[in-house]
Amino acid sequence: MADVVIESTPDVLMDLDKSGQGDVRTEEMLVNMGPQHPATHGVLRVVLRTDGEMVLESIPHVGYLHRCAEKIGENLQPYQYIPYTDRMDYLAGMNNNQAYALAIEKLAGVEVPERGKYLRVIFAELNRVASHLVAFGTYGLDMGAFTPFLYSFREREMILDMCESACGARLTYSYLTIGGAHDDVPDRFFDVLLEFLDYFEPKIPEYNQLLSFNHIFVKRTADVGVISASDAIAWGLTGPCLRGSGVKWDLRRSAPYEIYDRFEFDIPVGVAGGTDGIPRSVVVGDCWSRYFVRVLEMQQSCRIIRQAIEQIPDGDHINKKLKNLKLPAGEVYMEIENPRGQLGFYVQGDGSAIPSRVKARGPSFSNISILNHIGRGCLLADIPAIVGSTDIVMGEVDR
């Protein structure tokens, strides 16, 4: 009988003991995964304590991309800080711009013209689609499927082209700024956008055939890394990770900001398998549910964009009266729904043009903190599946 002392022994090992198979001598091993690893989405490092193929502990170590964003926020004017927000969640630059701009507007009491608000919604949703496309493609890569990556990047390039036509950048836009959107969109932009939506929406069922209902993919992700709804809330999970656990919570509907109360859209959540064509082995809160929520959200974003194009008025795209913006003494906390969850900015003003404290609450930071809790007792090969399904961006975890 081996003298292996295991703290926080998973139940699986206990069962092995009872069934008499516990005589097999096992040795624990520490496996270091990352910070340079193709399946960690950047520079996440996970230290795994394993017993054979089984993971006893998976401790995430972060900070390899700590770029001092909060210190920089205390030293720059809000306009100058907008480009840094791009680089936090670099897959969803528009949403981050919007979050910081909204926080500053709330603090300084800045009005945004109607057209600016609509432009913000259109670009935020467009960026959400682009971000989910990357999540979809790279999750396929993590699971060993290369083709979805090529398809998703094909569509993503079209979105980037549109963003480029509006602001000149492919990835770090700095387009949505304090008081509205930096520039108006070029002529015929909305025609191009509608054309893209007509092209893109039929692609989503194609993606589902390609990856979502693929047997191997379902085997790898269904019933793996299950997070219960109460756990998800307690650990502060937001976005698709929370909705994958069946909680119908989305800030765009739950506490609408900007003009999201003017649009009709659904909030997709994870549902148990066996109905509506969902694979039978799926349970609420597993990796597959989190992944599939993202696919469904792309459809809803397209719906929002279509409504916004119909409603958008003419007029100014930015509040042109803004000169020498001074931040009054006081503090605000503003949250928006970013593709990964709730992105919050806590800004403290002190009467000067530069805020005295900027704190960003990145959704990925909370989303990855649950890894050790759900990674216990799963197989080594499930860890990339779990990490990939939370869809973290390290720029936002470490800031």
- Collect all residues with Cβ–Cβ distance below 8 Å to 374 and sequence separation of at least 6: 225, 226, 227, 231, 386
Closest CB to another protein among 79 and 190?
79
C-beta of residue 152 within 8 angstroms of C-beta of residue 136: yes
Q: Of 10, 208, 331, 380, which one interacts with another protein (CB under 8 A)? A: 331
Q: Of 104, 107, 121, 305, which one interacts with another protein (CB under 8 A)? A: 107
C-beta of residue 224 within 8 angstroms of C-beta of residue 385: yes
For the CB of residue 88, give the shortest distance to another protein in the complex, in Å.
Answer: 10
Residues of this chain, 68-97, that bind another protein according to CB under 8 A: 68, 70-72, 74-76, 83-84, 86-87, 90-91
What is the contact mask toward another protein in residues 170 to 209, using x (rule: CB under 8 A)?
A: xxx-------------------------------------
- Collect all residues with Cβ–Cβ distance below 8 Å to 220 and sequence separation of at least 6: 143, 287, 381, 385
253 is a contact residue toward another protein (CB under 8 A): yes
Residue 145: name the closest of 216, 223, 225, 41 by CA. Answer: 216
14 is a contact residue toward another protein (CB under 8 A): no
Q: Of 8, 228, 254, 311, which one interacts with another protein (CB under 8 A)? A: 254
For the CB of residue 303, give the shortest distance to another protein in the complex, in Å.
Answer: 15
C-beta of residue 237 within 8 angstroms of C-beta of residue 249: no
Closest CB to another protein among 311 and 352?
352
351 is a contact residue toward another protein (CB under 8 A): no
C-beta of residue 86 within 8 angstroms of C-beta of residue 377: no
Q: Dihedral sign for Cα 297, 300, 306, 312, please.
A: negative
- Collect all residues with Cβ–Cβ distance below 8 Å to 329 and sequence separation of at least 6: 349, 350, 351
What's the full length of the chain, in residues?
Answer: 399
For the CB of residue 367, give the shortest distance to another protein in the complex, in Å.
Answer: 10
Closest CB to another protein among 170 and 326?
170
36 is a contact residue toward another protein (CB under 8 A): yes
- Report how far residue 109's alpha carbon sits from residue 70's, in angstroms, rounded to the nearest whole number: 22
What is the contact mask toward another protein in residues 123 to 162, using x (rule: CB under 8 A)?
A: -----------x--xx----------xxx-xx-xx-----
**Which tokens is 4 given?**
């292996």
Closest CB to another protein among 26 and 165?
165
Closest CB to another protein among 12 and 68?
68
Query: Which residue carries 């993590």 as its tokens?
Result: 142
